[in-house]
Amino acid sequence: MADNQTVGETLASRGISRRTFLKFCATMTSLLALPPGMAEVMAETLARTRRQSVIWLSFQECTGCTESLTRSHSPTLESLLFDAISLDYHHTLQAAAGDAAERARVQAMQDNAGKYLVIVDGSIPLKDGGVYSTIAGHSNLDMLKETAAGAAAIIAVGTCATYGGLPHANPNPTGAVAVSDIIKDKPIVNVPGCPPIATVITGVVAHFLTLGTLPELDSLGRPKVFFGDTIHDRCYRRPFYDQGKFAKTFDDEGARSGWCLYELGCKGPTTHNACATVKWNGGTSFPIESGHPCLGCSEPNFWDAGSFYQALSAKTLPLSAHAGAALAVGAAAGVAVGLVSRAKKKAAARQHTRVSADDLEKGGGA
Amino acid sequence: MSGLEHIGVQVVTAPQDGARSYVPALLREIEALLAELVASGRHGRIDLRSLPLLPGDDARLAALLGNGEVDAAIQAMGGTRVRETGVAGVWWVTHANADGETVAEFVEVTLVPEMLKTHPQDARTGLARLRERLAELTHEGETDG
C-alpha cells in the first residue's frame, strides 16, 4: 500500500547510505544526459519526496519486462528505484492475491488520485470484447481505462505495450493493440524493447520523480535521450561497415574478426535503442557484441519485418553495391542504405515473410 | 567456468584514421573550471561518458593529469574510486556496479568530492547507532556487576 515515508526515510530504514544514493543519482544524471551538477540536486530532492505511488499493470505479456527490471544476482543501483517508489500493485511481485490485490489497486487510485504513475507491460486484446485476457473478471481494456483515468502519466514498457509486440503480429488473433491506441488523454512514454533495458525504465521513472516532467520524446513516443540514435549509429562495429567488411556466415573469418553483421540480417540501421551504449547484463555486452545481429526488437512490427537472418537490403540491391557505396562515401552511404532498408522492411511486413529452418541454418543473408 | 574463453573469437579494433582527440579541449575546460574554483569556490564536474571520446582518450587524459596524493575506495553497491589527480583540486571519480562494470565516470573540480563527505543524515543515523551500542555496553556492565 502507499505510505507516507519519504525516500530518504526509506533508505535509512533499509540501511542504505545517502552516499550510495548519491552514486545512484550521479549514474542517473549521466544516463539522462542531465547537467552533471544535477546529481546532488536530484539526491536531495528525491530524499525529501514522498514515495511515488506506482500501479503496474501486466496484460498480454511474458513477464520478460518485469524480469529485465528485477532479475539480478546482486543488489544493483537500478534496484534502488524500488526504494524511491511505492509499488502499490503488481501481479508478479505483490504479496496480496485475489480480491485483496484488486483492493490494493483501487485504494492506491483513491489515495493518489491524479498523482500516481501507471506502468503497463503487455498488449491489450480488443477482439471479441477483450475476452482473451482478463484479470479478476475485468478485461484488460476496462482495467486500463479505469486505472489510467486518474493517472498523472503512463509509462508503456516493452514492445507489446508500446506497439502491440508479438500478440499484434500477423494475423493478430486477439486483436492486440498498444496502450497509446486506447489512451489518448494522458501523457504516455514508450519504452520499447523485447525486453526493454532496465536502466532505461529506471531513468524515465527517475526523471519524472526528480523533475516532475517526462523526458523529451521522439515521434514514436520514446525518450530521445535513449532512442535518439540507431544501434548502427553507435555500434562499435560501424567502422567495419564503412570499410565494407562483413561477416558472411556465423563462423567465417569475418565473424571471428568481429566484422559487421549487416549481411547476417542485422537490423541495427533501422533500430533505435540504447543497447550499444547502455548494454545488457550489468553492462557486459549487447547482442552484436556477442556475435548476433540486432533483431530490431524496439521497433514497431518487428515480428512481421521478415526473417531475423535476412539482410535488410537483400534482393533489393546487391549487397556488394552497398559495400562499394559505403567505402566510397562513408556515412552518406549509411543514410542511403538506411532508407533502402526501411523500404525493404515495410515490404517484408506487408508480405509477412516467415522464418524457416533454412533461415536459421544458412549463413548469408542475401 | 564454461570454457568460453577458449572460443577463438578475436575482436579487431578499427583504425581511427583522421579522428581528432578531445583531450586538448577537455584540458582547456578543466582549466576554466579550476580557475572558477580558485576565484569563487564554485565546483564543477565533467561527465566523461557523455562525450564521444576516442578509444584511448580517457587514458591519455588521465596520464596528462597524473596522480595526486589521495586514492580512496568506496563500497556503495559496487566500488567507487575517487582519485585526486596530479593537479590539486582536480579529481577523477569512477563508479562501478556490483559486477565491477564502470557505470559512470566524472572529472570533478572541487576541494572535496561529494562522494567522500558523510551526509548529515548518515551522521545522525551513525550517532543513533553509537548511542544504542553504548546503551548495550552500559546494560552489559550493569548485568556483569
CATH number at residue A124: 3.40.50.700
Judged by a CB distance cut-off of 8 A, whether residue B114 touches chain A is yes
Candidates B42, B53, B54, B122, partner chain A, best to mutate (most A CBs within 10 A) = B122
Helix (H) or strand (E) holding A220: none
Identify the CATH number of the domain in which residue B81 sits: 3.30.1370.140
Q: What is the pLDDT of residue A2?
A: 44
Nearest Cα to A225, choosing from A195, A257, A202?
A202
The residue with greater pLDDT, A229 or B12, is A229
Judged by a CB distance cut-off of 8 A, whether residue A184 touches chain B is no
Number of H helices, E strands in chain A: 18, 9
Q: Which residues of A touch B106 (CB under 8 A)?
A: 26, 30, 36
Do A27 and B118 lie within an 8 Å CB cutoff? no
Pair (B61, B98) in one structural domain: yes
Q: A212 in a domain, yes or no? A: yes
Q: Which residues of A touch B37 (CB under 8 A)?
A: none
Q: B15 in a domain, yes or no? A: no
Domain that holds residue B46: 20-110
Pair (B41, B61) in one structural domain: yes
Nearest Cα to A243, choosing from A334, A163, A122?
A334
* CB-based burial label for A316 (10 Å; 0-12, 13-18, 19+): middle
Q: What are phi and psi of A321, to 5 degrees?
A: -65, -40
Do A256 and B9 lie within an 8 Å CB cutoff? yes
Strands B79-85 and B90-96 turn out to be antiparallel
Q: A70 in a domain, yes or no? A: yes
Q: Are A294 and A268 in contact (CB under 8 A)?
A: yes
Buried b (16+ CB within 10 A) or exposed e, A215-226: bebeeebbbebb
Q: What is the mean pLDDT of residues B17-45?
A: 88
Q: What is the pLDDT of residue A235?
A: 87
Judged by a CB distance cut-off of 8 A, whether residue A285 touches chain B is no
Q: What is the pLDDT of residue B124?
A: 92
CA distance B121 to chain A (A): 7
How many angstroms from the chain centroid is the CA of residue A120? Answer: 12
- What is d(CA A42, CA A8) in angstroms, rounded to the nearest whole number? 12
How many angstroms from the chain centroid is the CA of residue B27? Answer: 18
- What does the block give as the cell for A139? 478485461
Pair (B34, B78) in one structural domain: yes
Do A240 and B14 lie within an 8 Å CB cutoff? yes
Average pLDDT, chain B: 86
Q: What is the mean pLDDT of each run of 10 residues along chain A (366 residues)?
A: 72 86 88 82 86 93 88 59 83 88 95 95 97 94 97 96 96 97 97 91 84 90 93 87 93 92 96 87 80 96 90 57 42 50 60 52 41
Q: What is the pLDDT of residue A348?
A: 54
ipTM of the complex: 0.82
Pair (B27, B70) in one structural domain: yes
Do B121 and A20 lie within an 8 Å CB cutoff? no
Pair (B57, B103) in one structural domain: yes
Q: A366 in a domain, yes or no? A: no
Judged by a CB distance cut-off of 8 A, whether residue B92 touches chain A is no
Q: What is the pLDDT of residue A253?
A: 93
Strand partners, B83: B71, B92
First-to-last C-alpha distance (Å) of chain B: 56
First-to-last C-alpha distance (Å) of chain A: 55
What is the pTM for the complete model shown? 0.75
The residue behind cell 535503442 is A273
Do A19 and B101 lie within an 8 Å CB cutoff? no
Amino acid residing at B44: G
- What is d(CA A267, CA B87) in angstroms, rounded to the nearest whole number? 46
Judged by a CB distance cut-off of 8 A, whether residue A331 touches chain B is no
Pair (B86, B137) in one structural domain: no
B139 Cβ contact partners less than 8 Å away, ≥ 6 residues apart: none
Q: Which residue of B has its CA nearest to A16?
A: B76
Select the residue of B12, B49, B102 nearest A258 (Cβ to Cβ).
B12
- What does the block give as the cell for A253? 573469418
The residue behind cell 584540458 is B27
Buried b (16+ CB within 10 A) or exposed e, A134-168: bbeeebbbebbeebbebbbbbbbbbbbbbbbbbbb
Nearest Cα to A51, choosing from A114, A1, A6, A108?
A6
Judged by a CB distance cut-off of 8 A, whether residue B127 touches chain A is no
Q: What are phi and psi of A139, to 5 degrees?
A: -70, 155
Pair (A194, A323) in one structural domain: no
Q: A2 in a domain, yes or no? A: no
Judged by a CB distance cut-off of 8 A, whether residue A12 touches chain B is yes
- What is d(CA B14, CA B17) in angstroms, rounded to the nearest whole number? 9
Number of compact structural domains in chain A: 2
Q: B125 in a domain, yes or no? A: yes
The residue with greater pLDDT, B136 or A84, is B136
Q: What is the pLDDT of residue A354?
A: 53
Judged by a CB distance cut-off of 8 A, whether residue B21 touches chain A is no
Do B15 and A20 lie within an 8 Å CB cutoff? no
Select the residue of B14, B15, B77 nearest A20 (Cβ to Cβ).
B77
Judged by a CB distance cut-off of 8 A, whether residue B4 touches chain A is no
Pair (A199, A247) in one structural domain: no
Helix (H, G, I), strand (E, B) or coil at A125: strand
Domain that holds residue A57: 7-226
Judged by a CB distance cut-off of 8 A, whether residue B17 touches chain A is no
| Other beta carbons less than 10 A from residue A243's beta carbon | 16
Q: Which one of A209, A226, A243 terminates a domain?
A: A226
Select the residue of A27, A80, A282 nearest B99 (Cβ to Cβ).
A282
Pair (A256, A287) in one structural domain: yes
Q: What is the pLDDT of residues B75-131, one digit of tens each?
A: 998 899 999 999 999 999 999 887 787 888 999 999 999 999 999 999 999 999 999
Decide if pLDDT at B60 tops 70: yes
- What is d(CA A113, CA A151) in angstroms, rounded to the nearest whole number? 7
Q: What is the pLDDT of residue B1?
A: 44
Pair (B54, B123) in one structural domain: no
Q: Which one of A205, A226, A247 terminates a domain?
A: A226
Q: Are A31 and A72 in contact (CB under 8 A)?
A: no
Peptide bond into A36 cis (omega under 30): no
The angle at the Cα of B4, spanning A364 to B9, to the nearest 5 degrees, equals 45
Do A36 and B46 lie within an 8 Å CB cutoff? yes
Pair (B61, B127) in one structural domain: no
Pair (A146, A172) in one structural domain: yes
- What is d(CA B28, CA B20) in angstroms, rounded to the nearest whole number? 15
| Residues 34-53 in A contacting B (C-alpha not used; CB under 8 Å) | 36-37, 39-40, 47
CA distance A38 to chain B (A): 10
Judged by a CB distance cut-off of 8 A, whether residue B94 touches chain A is no
Pair (A242, A308) in one structural domain: yes
Q: What is the pLDDT of residue A316?
A: 41
Number of H helices, E strands in chain B: 3, 5
Judged by a CB distance cut-off of 8 A, whether residue A64 touches chain B is no
Pair (B28, B96) in one structural domain: yes
- What does the block give as the cell for A12? 535509512
Pair (A238, A310) in one structural domain: yes
Q: Which residues of A touch B8 (CB under 8 A)?
A: 256
Q: Are A72 and A40 in contact (CB under 8 A)?
A: no
Number of compact structural domains in chain B: 2
Helix (H) or strand (E) holding A120: strand A116-121
Q: What are phi and psi of B33, to 5 degrees?
A: -65, -40
Peptide bond into B15 cis (omega under 30): no
Pair (B81, B141) in one structural domain: no
The residue with greater pLDDT, B4 or A57, is A57
